Amino acid sequence: MSKNTVHTSNQPIVILGALDQEINAFHQELEGSQKHFWNGYEIWQGRLQGRDVVVTKSGVGKVFASMICQMLIDRYNPQALIFTGLAGGLSPKLEIGDIVVSRDCVQHDFTAAPLFPRYEIPSYDMKTTHRDFYADKHLKQLALGYIPQQGKIVEGRILTGDQFLTGSELEEYQHLTRELTGDAVDMESAAVAQVCTINQIPFVIIRTISDKANGQAARSFENFLPEATHNSVEVVKRIVANLRQTTQYHPRR
């Protein structure tokens, strides 16, 4: 694909979440829904806000997220991809229930040192590297236009690694805020962002803060899951309803 790849409205919009609990509410919103299966995954197709969408879960972690993301791109050639769900808060400015819309995503646990700087991901030919995977500007602006009933919605950097972080790991992972200046942390977003970037698919990540990496994650998850699900559905509905009929891929913001 060229750097000016154009995606049109006759291509579906893919909606992804890591867990069943994070995407089940979307099933109830779909019109004319049909369920398909791929390697045990349930894939729902239907219409949301008058637009064709595909909804499924990715599973937890970077490998599952990358696998299902690439499969959906190959199978449906989407106009755009939206990943939504919960995340841990890193910024002291964020409270539980606040929403973070990705400016960019970084894999905080990737290192190919000393061949490349820490966090830098070499391309397949080892000639270039990526660290920051930027969300699509139009999708990001649509998401930031949502006004939550409680809390706030902000643009930020989402860090991703194959660890579920709590208070006991804060000392070991201080580089997440001091070096990478992360606002939220999860286990899937940067992997999805990398796959979309390579395939030139416009994307955005929407995460509701469920805990502040302070050891109360499990309790916070149960308490805030309904609120987070509501946030996800409403932000995604706003994006889908207002997305341009054509979107153009831009490699960097």
| Two structure tokens written together for 33 | 């829904």
Give catalytic status of residue 42 as yes or no: no
Residue 199 contacts by C-beta under 8 Å, 6 or more apart in sequence? 1, 70, 73
Instruction: Return d(Cα 128, Cα 76) in angstroms, integer.
Output: 29
Contact between 90 and 182 under an 8 Å Cβ cutoff? The reply is: yes
Question: Among 169, 171, 211, 234, which one carries the catalytic annotation?
Answer: 211
The owner of tokens 């054509």 is 246
What is the rounded distance in angstroms from the CA atom of residue 207 to the CA atom of residue 186?
9
211 is catalytic: yes
Q: Are 102 and 96 in contact (CB under 8 A)?
A: no
Q: How far is CA 146 from the centre of its chain?
A: 17
Q: Which alpha helices (H) appear in the chain, and where do they start and end?
A: 20-29, 62-76, 137-144, 175-178, 189-199, 217-242
Q: How many CB atoms lie within 10 A of CB 83?
A: 31
The residues carrying an active-site annotation are 22, 211
